[in-house]
């Protein structure tokens, strides 16, 4: 590292201590990565993927073999009955919105059992104020169950809410969003699903699976979730897919979502791939490995900033349910310095300086560091945070651990300079 970048001796010593702390954790990550990578390979072989799957279609896209085969491959990988994966989903929020509008009807109730959802979903729900075109605007009611004192889902409270409110959709956000609560493991999601069913409910259980794909050996659709959705510029795109998202789960529900994605009665039969199939196939194929690299980067950052004296969540040895690492920097100047340092270690736009700004969908100014090959990709090394207490930064991604480590060290160097250390 010192051959290429100007890292102080003090930070270099902390780096060595952090690397020693990560070795046993990295071995566990490698084991999960290998399992998931072989699972993906088996599915590709089972479906006899060939060059013909990558051929582009135009216009309506009727009979797009590559598109249709990839739906089946993704369903098999995720242990689901069905799936749709499309480059036309603009973001994770767009994908989740399509799914929610697909399965909810006027007069239905959606119950979020993991506290307040991620910021950009608030406008979709219309739960704080009336937003034109929101679910509330279409007569869908929303309520939520607060997290327990430990930041985890409150299972007794969930059971009570299910019995009293009788929702049509129970919504689970796997990742922590801009909060410090733990992200949810597959075991946690399974407990929630069991709680819903034990309460006598047949509600559709939907999971926002963003940042969680391939982190464990199973996915939510294998432990009781009826539907899940995510973004291709996060884990499942493998750093190759330039855009898109997926929805997977019960066949009847995926069909409803497909009708919302295009038009009722038309659904998945239309939608030209326009030459994107190759990128989507390559992205899915590489996703387990890239997710493993991002997990290593998160564990390393946790270890390094622990050595520097900062609070972190998860801690280096804690089990992980997604690729996100939160670091409690405690002051706005450190938060801004971290993002500027991380940006300076990016392969793209390293010469630019991120600044806080008023970002659509957020109540506070947000700063983002994202020197990525794909704009906004958070499977690539990136960090973002609203400028508000506790001035934590949420870091994620890294296409390979070696360069992610360099970027994290540059971020750490800038934080130390804030304190003249």
DSSP assigned state of 376: T
pLDDT at 48 over 90: yes
Residue 120 neighbours by CB under 8 Å, 6+ apart: 93, 361, 362
Report the pLDDT averaged over residues 394-414.
97
SS3 category, 95:
helix
pLDDT at 386 over 70: yes
Say which residue the tokens 């003090």 belong to: 10
- Band (pLDDT 50/70/90 cuts) for residue 6 is confident
pLDDT in tens, 86-97: 999 999 999 999
Q: 114 and 146 in contact (C-beta within 8 Å)?
A: no
Model pLDDT, residue 373: 96
DSSP, residue by residue, 354-365:
---B--TT-SS-
CB 186 within 8 A of CB 218: yes
Average pLDDT over residues 370-389: 93
At 408 the pLDDT is 98
Largest CA distance in the chain: 65
The whole-number pLDDT of residue 52 equals 97
Residue 2 banded pLDDT, cuts 50, 70, 90: confident
Q: In the beta sheet, which residues pair with residue 357?
A: 366
Banded pLDDT at 3 (limits 50, 70, 90): confident
Which residues, 6 or more positions from 398, have their beta carbon under 8 angstroms from its beta carbon?
Answer: 293, 294, 296, 297, 298, 380, 381, 404, 407
Going along 209-290, which residue ranges are E strands?
227-231, 245-249
Q: How far apart (Å, rounded) are the C-alpha atoms in residues 269 and 267? A: 6
Contact between residue 268 and residue 98 where contact means Cβ atoms under 8 Å apart: no
**What is the share, in percent, of the chain residues with pLDDT greater than 90?**
91
CA 401 to chain centre: 18
In terms of pLDDT, which residue wins out, 364 or 320? 320
- pLDDT tens digits for range 64-82: 999 999 999 999 999 999 9
Q: Given a cut of 90, is residue 235 above it in pLDDT? A: yes
For the stretch 244-260, pLDDT in tens is 999 999 999 999 999 99
In the numeric block, the tokens 């219309």 are attached to: 126
Rounded CA-CA distance 121/177 in Å is 11
Q: Do 85 and 74 form a contact (C-beta atoms < 8 A)?
A: yes
pLDDT of residue 179: 86
pLDDT tens column, 127-169:
887 789 999 999 999 999 999 999 999 999 999 999 999 999 9
CB of 313 within 8 A of CB of 326? yes
Residue ranges with strand state E in 270-355 = 311-313, 325-328
**DSSP letter at 393?**
E
pLDDT of residue 86: 98
Across residues 383-406, what is the average pLDDT?
A: 94
User: What is the pLDDT at residue 287?
Assistant: 98
Name which of 145, 148, 73 is nearest 115 in CA terms. 145
Residue 361 has pLDDT above 70, yes or no: no
Stated pTM of the model: 0.95
Burial class (CB in 10 A: 0-12, 13-18, 19+), 263: exposed
pLDDT at 421: 59
Return d(Cα 419, Cα 129) in angstroms, integer. Answer: 41
Q: How far apart are CA 409 and CA 415, in angstroms?
A: 10
Q: List pLDDT tens digits, range 203-231.
A: 999 999 999 999 999 999 999 999 999 99
Asked if pLDDT for residue 22 goes beyond 80, the answer is: yes
Q: Give how far Cα 356 sits from Cα of 340, 365, 388, Å.
A: 11, 6, 11
Question: How far is 421 from 417, CA to CA, in rounded Å?
Answer: 6
Q: What percent of the chain has pLDDT over 70?
A: 100
Domains and CATH numbers, the chain: 9-33+288-418 (3.90.1150.60), 39-284 (3.40.640.10)
Mean pLDDT, the chain, rounded, equals 96
Q: Tokens representing 351?
A: 């010469």
Q: How many CA atoms lie within 13 A of 273 on its CB side?
A: 26
């Amino acid at each position: 590292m010192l051959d290429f970048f100007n890292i102080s001796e003090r930070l270099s010593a902390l780096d060595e201590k952090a690397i020693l702390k990560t070795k046993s954790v990295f071995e566990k990550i490698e084991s999960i990565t290998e399992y998931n990578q072989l699972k993906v390979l088996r599915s590709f072989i089972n479906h006899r993927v060939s060059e013909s799957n990558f051929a582009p279609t135009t216009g309506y896209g009727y009979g797009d073999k590559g598109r249709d085969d990839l739906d089946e491959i993704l369903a098999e990988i995720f242990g689901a009955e069905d799936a749709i994966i499309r480059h036309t989903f603009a973001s994770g929020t767009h994908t989740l919105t399509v799914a929610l509008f697909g399965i909810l009807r006027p007069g239905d109730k959606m119950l979020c059992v993991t506290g307040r959802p991620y910021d950009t979903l608030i406008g979709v729900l219309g739960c704080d104020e009336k937003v034109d075109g929101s679910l509330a605007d279409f007569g869908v009611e929303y309520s939520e169950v607060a997290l327990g004192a430990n930041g985890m889902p409150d299972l007794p409270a969930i059971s009570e809410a299910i019995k009293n409110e009788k929702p049509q959709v129970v919504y689970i956000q796997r990742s922590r969003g801009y909060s410090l609560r733990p992200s949810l493991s597959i075991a946690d999601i399974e407990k929630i699903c069991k709680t819903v069913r034990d309460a006598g409910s047949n509600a559709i259980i939907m999971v926002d699976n963003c940042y969680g794909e391939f982190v464990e050996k199973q996915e939510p659709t294998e432990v009781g979730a009826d539907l899940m959705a995510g973004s291709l510029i996060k884990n499942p795109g493998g750093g190759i897919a330039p855009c898109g998202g997926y929805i997977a789960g019960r066949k009847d529900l995926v069909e409803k979502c497909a009708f919302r994605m295009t038009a009722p009665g038309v659904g998945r039969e239309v939608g030209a791939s326009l030459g994107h199939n190759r990128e989507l196939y390559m992205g899915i194929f590489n996703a387990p490995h890239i997710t493993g690299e991002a997990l290593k980067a998160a564990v390393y950052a946790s270890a390094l900033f622990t050595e520097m004296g900062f609070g972190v969540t998860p801690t280096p040895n804690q089990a992980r349910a997604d690729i996100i690492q939160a670091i409690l920097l405690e002051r706005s100047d450190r938060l801004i310095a971290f993002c500027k340092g991380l940006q300076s270690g990016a392969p793209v736009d390293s010469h630019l300086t991120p600044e806080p700004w008023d970002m659509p969908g957020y109540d506070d100014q947000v700063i983002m560091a994202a020197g990525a090959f794909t704009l906004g990709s958070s499977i690539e090394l990136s960090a973002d945070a609203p400028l508000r207490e506790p001035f934590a930064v949420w870091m994620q991604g890294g296409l390979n651990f070696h360069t992610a480590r360099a970027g994290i060290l540059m971020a750490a160097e800038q934080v130390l300079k804030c304190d003249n250390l």
